[in-house]
Copies of this chain bind each other. A is one copy, B any other.
Amino acid sequence: MTAAYQGEPGAYSEMACQKLFPESETLPCRTFRDVFESLKNDRAQFAVLPVENSLAGSVHENYDLILEYPEVHIIAETQVTVNHHLLAVDAATLETIKTVLSHPQALMQSAGFLDQYPHWVRQPFYDTAGSAAHVAQQSDPTLAAIASRGAAERYGLKILASAIESNHHNYTRFFALALKSRPAKEPFNKASIVFTLGQEIGSLAKVLTRIAEASFSLIKLESRPIHGRPWQYMFYADVMLGPDVERFFALYRQLPNYVGDLRLLGTYFSDLINYPG
């Protein structure tokens, strides 16, 4: 079995792959869309997708892609702790560095550290592990990358400074995806749905009240612009499931009375439920 992820080997997404599918091979993909295509073409049987960072918020592109590929559903959820390190070749020291490469998000999350070196140029790069690969390849002691410890090991770089992120409560949430022909493993403790609303006042309040009346706890609600209909939104909702999953399906069958479009993105097991918050 193979699990696809976006990024270079050593990416945080690869760590999530190994956590969710320890028995599977991993398949690096160039773009998030390629991850979905690899499922469709059966080059991978599982895929792992970052959907939210505890500081930066949702990865909207991926929520949009989940909608674009209705043959795919969510089969599990986990999180990975993000620790950023400053990586460079052996010959480098903090004094030789002139340019720091990384994903814009990692640069921003390490701003407090980087502000101590105002003469360093911050160069955005497509992903963290890719910036580490680039630094290793250039073998230039004026370059540093911000990436994970795994990326340091993978590309033979040393850690010039560790845990340089400003906020250490930095986690990324990942969905495991598969084609719907491959059912999710039970027990389910979470469900994700997406819906649009009618135009009347209070329509969102009515949906949420119906969910609350059925005693389901809303974990997250996220609005997303509908492309081509400026300032109209669809809503992604995550709901906590109890042991009686049939009760959720009974609620789900009533929801069309309260919403416009509606889709179930998956019922699955999340190891974040009972997260010590």
Contact = CB atoms under 8 A, between A and B. Distances in A.
Interface of A: 52-57, 60-61, 79, 104, 108, 124-126, 167, 169, 171, 173, 201-202, 204-206, 208-209, 211-213, 215-225, 227-233, 235, 272, 275, 277
Given A52-B225, A124-B124, A225-B54, A204 B230 contact: no
B228 A169 contact: yes
SS class, residues of chain A in contact with chain B? mixed
Contacts of A217: 201
A35 B226 CA distance: 29
- Scoring A54, A205, A227 by chain B CB atoms within 10 A of each residue's CB, the highest score goes to A205
Contacts of A125: 124
B220 A223 contact: yes
A64 to B, nearest CB: 9
A230 B57 contact: no
- Scoring A201, A209, A223, A231 by chain B CB atoms within 10 A of each residue's CB, the highest score goes to A231
Given A230-B277, A231-B275, A232-B277, A57 B202 contact: no
Given A205-B205, A208-B208, A55 B231 contact: no
B167 A227 contact: yes
A277 B229 contact: yes
Contacts of A53: 225
A61 B108 CA distance: 10
A267 B75 CA distance: 43
A247 to B, nearest CB: 14
A208 B233 CA distance: 16
A221 B235 CA distance: 9
A232 B201 CA distance: 27
- Scoring A126, A230, A272 by chain B CB atoms within 10 A of each residue's CB, the highest score goes to A230
Given A231-B272, A231-B275, A204 B225 contact: no
Nearest to A168: B228
Given A125-B124, A212-B201, A169 B230 contact: yes
A103 to B, nearest CB: 9
